[in-house]
Amino acid sequence: MPMSFQTDVIALQKLKDASLWFIIIGVLALIGVVASVAAVVMAIVDLVLLFMMAIPKLRDAFQTFASTGKDVSRGFTGINLILPGIIIELIGGILAIAGIFSASLGLAAAGGIIVLLAAIVLFIAYLLIGLVIYNLGSFYNNDMLKIGGILIIIPFISFVGWILSYVSVDDIIRKLSGGTMMPQPYTAPSMYQPQVYQVGQGIIRLDGTVTLTLYSSITVNIVSASIDNTLYTTTDVNPNMLNPGNNSVTMRFLGVTGLVPGNNYYLTIYLSNGTSIKAVVTCTPT
């Protein structure tokens, strides 16, 4: 699998792992609401799991996505807002309870206002995280991940969004792999393993013109290319010879219709050494 796709797969697996912990936290929170006696214990367990497992794993996933050039900065901001949001919520809750027990209406009202402020901070936190998940779903053309990102934003049912995020990862990885295992790079008799892979993000215009950058460790020709899950293929590649290093490549697919601006499309590029590689391009109207 090309290096750029390997990093995507690692990031997706980390997102899946983080999603699992957020699902567990959501389920425990629901149990705490139903079983009021265990609510305090469940709340403590949730906080421990949130800060010891879920948040570190989600941060790690976002860092890996960021290493591939994806903009997940809002996700980091959202993660950073969770801790102060919970601290404010705890302070407000303590003041509200103290006001109730001391029959101080002013103290109880102040506590309620602080709790409301905390709820707004936490809503913004999960809004930012959910938007990043939604954008990842858009990048990978996966509706389930996009819906998951939306549901993560909504209080009380956000764990459903994490379930969709968890489930969607395997489908995305299958898409990245073209539904099958990718051919392994050719291994020369000297045991040197040449590599050819995409660098950065490519684009495809509505007229079928593709521009992308390919890194090659060897001199090798591009024989042809095809758009996955379509009948479109081309041999119009310029330059059709890859030299060692980064190569800017233009391909032209004739008669292409139905491309949607903003969507990603996956290409299979066939090389003269008998191997093929995968590439991803984003449709742009210009």
- pLDDT at residue 151 in the model: 96
Q: Which residue has the tokens 């705890």?
A: 90
d(CA 258, CA 125): 37
CATH 2.60.40.1890 boundaries in the chain: 196-284
40: Cβ contacts below 8 Å, ≥ 6 apart: none
Q: Within the chain, which residues score under 50 in pLDDT?
A: 1-3, 179-192
The yes or no reply on domain 196-284 and CATH 3.20.190.10 is no
Q: Which amino acid is at 173?
A: I
- 199 closest CA partner among 97, 108, 103, 281: 281
- pLDDT at residue 108 in the model: 86
d(CA 282, CA 158): 29
Tokens of 28: 């425990």
- pLDDT at residue 150 in the model: 95
- pLDDT at residue 206 in the model: 92
pLDDT in tens, 191-209: 445 688 888 889 999 999 9
- pLDDT at residue 102 in the model: 84
- pLDDT at residue 184 in the model: 38
- pLDDT at residue 187 in the model: 38
Interior angle at CA 80, CA 78 and CA 86, nearest 5: 95
Tokens of 281: 């391009």
CA dihedral 271, 272, 274, 280 (to 10 degrees): 0
Query: What distances in angstroms separate CA 285 from CA 137, 142, 212, 254, 257, one per listed residue?
Result: 20, 21, 16, 16, 12
Beta-ladder partners of 215? 197, 246
